Structure 1
Amino acid sequence: MHGEHDEIRRVPADVNDVGTAVMDAAFAVHRHFGPGLLESVYEHCLAEELSQRGLRVERQVAVPVSYRETRLDVGFRLDLLVERKVVVEVKAIDALASIHTAQILTYLRFSGVRLGYLINFNSIMLKDGFRRLVL
């Protein structure tokens, strides 16, 4: 059954295609290394894998916050911004927590991007470390 909630979760096909490419690239990186490395290593390798697939990737993108008509750099940095359509937050931790979901939802809200992925590369099975979030 489809309702209003389903409509909110949908993103345009081109955005979803970029998301699929992010997932495929993340699985390739995880297959190569497995769990146990630093977040920065996975971030670099995922960016390289996406670039090799012909996607435009920006790393550590500053996201300003507007407060009373003033733009402030409060230190928000997106790990990866792919094709300016998908935000990727890379983790290498024991387990994802609700604070990590809140973090990426905040990044989506402030960046104006609708689709984000939270990827914990420290998972034995990477599918268990994926969260897809849509605003």
Structure 2
Amino acid sequence: MEDKILFKDESYKIIGICMNVHSSLGTGFLEAVYSEVLEIEFKKNNIPFEKEKKLEIFFNGEKLNKTYRVDFLCFNEIIIELKSVSFLHDNFSKQLQNYLKATNKKLGILINFGEKSLKYKRIINL
């Protein structure tokens, strides 16, 4: 039985762009700077995205009044959550997992520009 990686090619492109951005800028900038540069790079590389996209949140099938604004929604399916911190705390992963559940999206990628090398974590909504 062959293992299928969810949105493999799309994830590879996104993470590759993030690695290039991290290689160019390094650490120490605010998330907003990395976000602006990623917007430029996503456009340049024909990655379909919506920046600061507002997503509806559901609980037991009922739409809530509260919404969640993602850093990026790429390919209309992948939530990108950016961080610029010294390490990725487990709470960030749990938070992204909750966003995936609440929005019914299948994949989130947590990306941290704040460490010496780019750190990322794929979070899947089962």
**Under TM normalisation by the shorter chain, which class is it?**
0.7 to 0.9
Report SS of the residue matched to 2:34.
helix
Aligned-partner residue type, residue 10 of structure 1: I
- Residue 110 of structure 1 is aligned with which of 102, 112, 126? 102
Aligned partners of 1:60 and 1:77 also within 8 Å: yes
After superposition, residues 1-135 of structure 1 pair within 5 angstroms as: 10-11=5-6, 15-67=7-59, 70-126=62-118, 129-135=119-125
Task: Give deviations 1:33-77, integer Å, cap 9, x for gaps.
Answer: 000000011112112211210111101111222347652242421
Task: Return closer, same or farther for 1:73/1:36 CA change in 2, 3 Å cut-off.
Answer: farther
The alignment partner of 2:71 has SS state of: strand
- What is the TM-score with the length of structure 2 in the denominator? 0.87
Q: Which has the higher strand share?
A: 2
5+ residue gaps, structure 2, are none
SS of the residue 1:63 aligns to: strand
Structure with the bigger percentage of helix: 1
- Give, as a single letter, the amino acid of the residue that structure 2 aligns with 1:82: C
Letter of the 1:74 partner, please give it: K
CA contact (8 A) 2:57 2:67 kept: no
Distance in 1 (alpha carbons) for counterparts of 2:59 and 2:101: 14
Corresponding letter in the other structure for 2:5: R
Q: Structure 1: 5+ residue runs without aligned partners?
A: none
